[in-house]
Chains A and B, each alone.
Chain A
Amino acid sequence: NSGVVCLLRPLLLDVIPSIRQTAALALGRLADYDVELAEAVVKAGILPQLIYSLPEENRYYKKTAAFVLRAVAKHSPQLAQAVIQCGALEMLVICLEDFDPGVKEGASWAFGYIARHNPELSQAVVDAGAVPLLVLCIQEPEIALKRIAASTLSDISKHSPELAQTVVDAGAIAHLAQMIPNPDAKLKRQVLSALSQIAKHSVDLAELVVEAEIFPVVLTCLKDSDEYVKKNGATLIREIAKHTPELSQFVVNSGGVAAVIDCIGSCRGTVRLPGIMALGYVAAHSEDLSMAVIVSKGIPPLCVCLVEEHEDHIKAAAAWALGQIGRHSAEHARHVAVANVLPTLLDIFVDTRSSEDLKTKATLKNILQKCTYLPALEPLLHEAPPSIMKHIIGQFSKVLPHDSKARRLFVTTGGLKKVQEIKAEPGSLLQEYINTINNCYPEEIVR
């Protein structure tokens, strides 16, 4: 603030190389720390000077220059745009072609931060021809370089299908898939996130990712000791499973569902979210897949999630997933009901503190419309609000006329009494249901 930037500027043109390096390093650290300092660096016109002399400089200078560019570009899209306008992209590409892995790392990190903000900047990075060089960087032996290159590819491909297609055309998927078994945890995080960003856009991209034979290696990532590796692995499975029933079927056949369920059981917090959503997507496609999820013991972890988690979006996701599992047929709804999760869902629905999103997801409508398991419906009778009561009574009216034992149970548990207490407008659906129930019993009992 005290004119430091202006003081450092002439040092960048000094004769001695180490002074240039140190000046650049100082500028980089300043820009890294604060947005305004970064803007000051840009306004002082330092970037063109930095970039102009880059090709002839030694590798330490290149590294530091890449660090400065990265520090400036990371704060906002406008600063990144300013970096691009100085012609930084070509210089960074030259750095990417350098032999020294540290220089390559700095350059790819800078590309990553530029491409992160929005699709236009990513497109600019791709147009500069960075993607094939990044794919070459991934094949280098240095682990840090691999990490950064993977994270840059992930940032590039996350914006749009065309960018993802460009990354795929450069042959990135095979190399990324080869690196999944690597023991380094941070590398695995980036690789899995890159693959999931590629797979999320369309069915073809997801199929390409699957053809790279990531299953069942990906399942070992779900057992990793690092939380974020598990999260990214579950994200990848989710992005693959959400497109078509065939892909979900493939995931189920390779045992992915079991691994995801174990992963959910072992984690806590936001890390669980992609796994829950993956289960929801798999179960949503068809009833066979939903049955497969049930058979793999998927419901208990979801119930535990609903009960334990405090965050709304995780609860909403768990409620949604349970809804998807239970909505297909009476059998599925029975499995869900047997797990004693309906009262929890009801509580969430009724609770005034839960958000709108959570309330809509926690609607029991889907499950209730198929549920014929009366012992689970009984406790709900006593507490349900009218919108849900309609469905519960409807279900009772469907089952009771045919099952005498259930009728007896209904009376003994006080359900009939409760039904009488409900006031419904005559002619409404609720009244019809109540009439149907009353007709199952002789007159004296009804009174």
Chain B
Amino acid sequence: RYYYFYIFRAIDEDRKAKYKAIVKIQRWFRACRVRAYLRHLSKMAILIQKWWRGYLRRKHFREIVERAYFIKKLEFYHEMAVRIQKRWRGYYVRKYVHNFYALKKYLKAVSVNNELVRSELQEYAEMKENEEKMKDLEKKEKEKKYQARKMHYLLSTEQIPGIYNSPSRKSPDPMELLLRKSKPLTHRKQQVKSPFAKELYDWPTCKRPPAFITSLPLLPADRQKPQGPFRDVAEVLWQRHKPLEPTLRVRESMYSPPAKAREATPREQWRNPMHDKEFLPFSSYHKNIERYEPSLCKSGKYGREAYGTKYFREVYPKKWIADKDFETQFSSIVLFDKFGKTYSSTGQIV
């Protein structure tokens, strides 16, 4: 009886075991399938990714290459630009900023100019020196002349030789000559030459006795000195009040023998004048108004002939070489014909 139970149980277990085995197998198979599918999927994914990444990277690579190329080009251009700039800057600086030849020329010009300046200054210095020397010489001369004038009495007379004209000398001393030339000083007290006249005075810090108290004795003390570059007052007064020094002729009287001798000559001159021409009041009297004298050629028996005014040639047909008279060969020049006739002068019509 339990027999069928055991058989059914066995069959059931068998069925279950088979069922489990089948499930296992199916499971395994499905898993394989899934695995294969997944493998396939992943392979596909990998493929897609591979392709996509390759594409992306290639694109990227192209960009990189482009960039690198661009940079290379840029570098090249920079390099070339640097070369150009280098050349240009060198040229520019050498030509304009630090131009060597211009500098050289300039320095030469400077040295030439310096030579000029130096020579001119040298001339100027020499001129000044000469001026100084001349001034000194003049001063000495003046001194000497003044001394000669003062010592005029030492001049030698006819009988007595002066000290500068000793008989044992061949020719007189130069001082003697100077004495002969000089005019004697007058006895009037010499106006003290103001110290202003000679050299330029420096206004002292009142160490010297102050000049203002004694300088202008002839002027009242409160006279306003007029403003302006006038001459020194002392000089002017000296000139104004200079003593009269008449010439020898005036100094002599009218009745002294030389004056009387001189009288004779004017009388003679009045008697025998050198000019024969009389004095005529107007200049027109002196003009030789020419009287007209006719020429012999033109005067005929009955008045003036027309020769010289109307015709200029005598006509002797017998003397002609050819048969014809003179004739003009050239056509007259029109322009020259019009000479003097282009404008009508008064009354005449061209």
Q: Chain A: residues with CB nearer than 8 A to chain B?
A: 25, 28-29, 32, 58, 60, 63, 67, 71, 99-100, 102, 105, 141, 143-144, 147-148, 184, 186, 216, 219-220, 222-225, 252-255, 257-259, 262, 288, 291-292, 295-296
By a CB distance below 8 angstroms, the chain A residues around B121 are 219-220, 222-223, 259, 262
- A166-B93 Cα distance, complex, nearest whole Å: 44
Contact A295 B107 (CB under 8 A): yes
Residues in B28-68 with C-beta less than 8 Å from chain A: none
CB-CB < 8 A to B222: which residues of A?
58
When distances are taken between beta carbons in the complex, the residues of chain A under 8 Å from B111 are 295-296
CB pair A225–B103 under 8 Å, yes or no, is no
Q: Distance (Å) between the CB of A361 and the closest chain B CB? A: 27
A and B contact pairs by CB, cutoff 8 A, 29 listed = A25-B206, A32-B205, A60-B212, A67-B205, A99-B224, A100-B225, A102-B203, A141-B229, A144-B201, A144-B202, A220-B121, A225-B125, A225-B128, A225-B129, A253-B110, A255-B114, A255-B116, A255-B118, A258-B114, A258-B115, A258-B118, A259-B117, A288-B103, A291-B103, A295-B107, A295-B110, A295-B111, A296-B111, A296-B114
B interface SS class: helix
Of A58, A141, A255, A262, which one neighbours B221 at CB under 8 angstroms? A58
Within residues 115 to 148 of chain B, which ones have a CB less than 8 A from any CB in chain A? 115-118, 121-122, 124-125, 128-129, 132
**Contact status B206-A29, CB under 8 Å:** yes
Q: How far is the CA of A32 from the CA of B205 in the complex (A)?
A: 9
In the bound complex, do residue A292 and residue B107 qualify as a contact, i.e. CB atoms below 8 Å apart?
A: yes
Give Cα A143–Cα B121 distance, bound, in whole angstroms. Answer: 25
4 shortest A-B CB distances, which residue pairs? A255-B117, A258-B114, A141-B229, A223-B125
* CA distance in complex: A258, B103 (Å): 18
Closest to A63 in B: B212
Contacts of A148 in B (CB 8 A): 203
Instruction: Say which size band chain B's interface belongs to.
Output: 20 to 34
Decide if B107 touches A291 in the complex (CB within 8 Å): yes
- Specify which chain B residues have a CB less than 8 angstroms from the CB of A255 in the assembled complex: 113-114, 116-118
Q: Smallest Cβ distance from B319 to chain A, in angstroms?
A: 87
Assess whether B90 is interfacial by the CB under 8 Å rule. Answer: no
Q: Tell me the complex Cα distance, A396–B132, Å.
A: 57
Question: Is B227 touching A296 in the complex (CB atoms < 8 A)?
Answer: no
Which of A28, A105, A291 gathers most chain B CB within 10 Å?
A291
A63-B212, A291-B107 known; 4 other A-B pairs, CB under 8 Å?
A: A25-B210, A71-B205, A144-B203, A255-B118
Bound-state CA distance A58–B103 (Å) is: 66
**Nearest CB of chain A from residue B121's CB, rounded to whole Å:** 5
> Most chain-A CB neighbours within 10 Å: which of B121, B202, B212?
B121
Chain A residues with CB below 8 A from B124, complex form: 220, 223
CB contact between A219 and one of B117, B128, B205, B212 (< 8 Å): that residue: B117
Contact with A along B100-114 (1 / 0, CB 8 A): 000100110011011
Task: Known A225-B128, A255-B117, A258-B117; judge A184-B212 contact (CB<8 A).
Answer: no
Smallest Cβ-Cβ distance to B203: which chain A residue: A144
Residues of chain A with a CB closer than 8 A to B200's CB: 143-144, 184
- Highest count of chain B CB atoms <10 Å: which of A148, A222, A255: A255
Residue contact B212 to A186, C-beta cutoff 8 Å: no
Q: B56-93: contact bitstring with A at CB < 8 Å (1 yes, 0 no)? A: 00000000000000000000000000000000000000
Chain B residue nearest to A295 in the complex (CB)? B107
Residue of A nearest to B125 (CB): A223
B210 CB → nearest A CB, Å: 7
Cα(A219)–Cα(B221), bound, Å: 45
Residues of B within 8 A of A29 (CB): 206
Q: Taking CB as reference atom, which chain A residue is nearest B229?
A: A141
Q: For A259, what are the chain B residues with a Cβ–Cβ distance below 8 Å? A: 117-118, 121
Is B117 a contact of A67 with CB atoms below 8 Å? no
Chain A neighbourhood of B225, CB < 8 A? 99-100
Q: Which residue of A lies closest to B131 (CB)?
A: A183
Q: Which residues of A contact B205 (CB under 8 A)?
A: 32, 67, 71
Which has the most chain B C-beta neighbours within 10 Å: A25, A63, A292?
A292
Closest to A289 in B: B110
A71-B20 Cα distance, complex, nearest whole Å: 145
Q: Which residues of chain A come closer than 8 Å to B229, judged between CB atoms?
A: 141
Q: Which B residue's beta carbon lies closest to that of A145?
A: B203
In the complex, what residues of B have CB within 8 A of residue A222's CB?
Answer: 121
Query: What residues of chain B lie closer than 8 Å to A292, measured between beta carbons?
Result: 106-107, 110
Taken together as a complex, chains A and B put the C-alpha atoms of A49 and B106 apart, in Å, by 67
Which of chain A's residues have a CB closer than 8 A to the CB of B114? 255, 257-258, 296
Residues of B close to A32: CB separation below 8 A: 205-206
